[in-house]
Structures are given as C-alpha cells and as structure tokens.
C-alpha cells in the first residue's frame, strides 16, 4: 500500500476487463480533448420532473441536492456494483467517467473542495480504467503511478496536472463521496479486496 501525505493507494482492486468492457460501451462517441460521462448526478438533472433545489449557502459537500443514478450507470451492472459497495459505507454524490483524448493535457490546477482535510467537502476516489506508463498524473509535481483497477484517494486540493502522451484515450472512474470515519480509517482497516 502506498501512503503519502497527498495520495493513498487504497486496499481495493477492481476487475479491469469488466471496467473496460462497460466503459467502452458508454464511450462510443468521438470527442475532442476531454469528455465526461455522468453516472450519478443531481436528481433534477437525471429526472427533469424533479424541481431544481433551493439555493444553498455552500455547495461543496453535495448536501444541497439529492443524487440519482443516470441511465448510463443503470445499464452498467459492474460499475453500479462498485458504486453500491461505497454507498454501503458513505454517501456517494457525483460519479463520472473522465476521458482524456490521445496526446491531450489537463493544465495544472487545484480543486479546493476535494480534500479529506477540508471541512464540509467531498473527496474523490479514482479508479483508473484505461491507463498506461505514457499517461502521467502529476500531484504536487510528482507522478502518481496509477494502474488500471487500482483504487486511489488523491488530495486534489494540491496542484495536479495530467498529460496523455500516447495514441489511446485515458479513462478514469471517479467517485465523489462525503468523508466519514470509514473513509478516514480505510487505509488501515479495510482488507485488500478484489471486486
């Protein structure tokens, strides 16, 4: 297990073949540079009959709305089973497949509300699906060597940047969730699990 002040390789692994199979079914269209496929989203976006939530003072922790699975997640049984695994232990908000085109780059930036130490925030778990050594994720100017099927917590309040130096797209599953004791202790208490 890799534990650093800005990254933790969680003791969970997922079936890469199943991840790729379901992700590719959802990723049929062409795109330029960057593409997001929502798997869980605010309820009013998933179901237009649900009214827009009332304005909130703070949107950082996801409590401003209810969250629902999208049709894309409902037709992806393996991806859905992964989300349900986390839902048994914490509140899952936004879930997406993030796609980065071949030879594309995401410039260095920070996400100020995506860190375990930030009060009233969510954290993002990243599960690489299509990833190889030519796809570089730098966090605090240091590469995070994520392999397909692994499960990572990254402190995205720190500067991070992504470069895809190859001719295939990069796909990650990202799961945003409200931090709780289960997540904070997960690197010590969850046994290594293949799922």
Q: Name the region of 113 (left: φ>0; alpha: ψ -120 to 50; beta: rest).
A: alpha
The verdict on residue 194 lying in a domain is no
Averaged confidence pLDDT in the chain: 88
**Mapping DSSP to helix (H, G, I), strand (E, B) and coil, where does residue 156 land?**
coil
Q: What is the CATH number of the domain that holds 82?
A: 2.60.120.330
pLDDT at residue number 56: 79
The verdict on residue 34 lying in a domain is yes
The verdict on residue 192 lying in a domain is no
The verdict on residue 53 lying in a domain is yes
The verdict on residue 195 lying in a domain is no
pLDDT at residue number 29: 67
pLDDT at residue number 156: 94
The verdict on residue 124 lying in a domain is yes
The verdict on residue 175 lying in a domain is yes
pLDDT at 57 over 50: yes
pLDDT at residue number 39: 95
Tell me the sheet residues that pair with 38: 96
Is the model more confident about 61 or about 44?
44
The verdict on residue 57 lying in a domain is yes
Domain total in the chain: 1
Is the model more confident about 53 or about 186?
53
> Mind listing the pLDDT tens digit for each residue in 24-35?
999 886 677 788
Is pTM, for the whole model, over 0.95? no
Closest CA to 111 of 98, 129, 130: 98
pLDDT at 45 over 50: yes
Which string of b and e fits 98-112 if b means at least 16 CB within 10 Å? bbbbeebebeeeebe
pLDDT at 188 over 60: no
User: Which residue range(s) make up the domain with 88?
Assistant: 7-187
Which residues, 6 or more positions from 84, have their beta carbon under 8 angstroms from its beta carbon?
A: none
Is the model more confident about 119 or about 79?
79
pLDDT at 15 over 60: yes
């Amino acid at each position: 297990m890799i534990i650093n002040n800005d990254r933790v390789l969680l003791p969970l692994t997922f079936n890469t073949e199943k991840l790729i199979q379901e992700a590719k079914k959802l990723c049929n269209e062409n795109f330029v540079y960057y593409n997001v496929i929502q798997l869980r989203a605010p309820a009013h976006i998933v179901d237009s009959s649900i009214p827009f939530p009332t304005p909130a003072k703070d949107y950082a922790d996801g409590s401003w709305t209810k969250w629902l699975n999208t049709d894309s997640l409902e037709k992806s049984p393996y991806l859905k089973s992964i989300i349900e695994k986390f839902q048994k232990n914490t509140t899952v908000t936004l879930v997406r497949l993030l796609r980065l085109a071949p030879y594309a780059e995401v410039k260095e930036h920070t996400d100020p509300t995506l860190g375990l130490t930030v009060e009233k925030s969510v954290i993002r778990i990243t599960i690489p699906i299509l990833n190889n050594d030519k796809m570089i994720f730098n966090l605090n100017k240091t590469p995070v060597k994520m392999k397909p099927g692994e499960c990572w917590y990254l402190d995205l309040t720190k500067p991070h940047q992504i470069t895809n130096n190859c001719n295939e797209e990069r796909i990650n599953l990202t799961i945003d969730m409200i931090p709780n004791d289960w997540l904070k202790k997960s690197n010590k208490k969850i046994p290594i699990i293949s799922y």
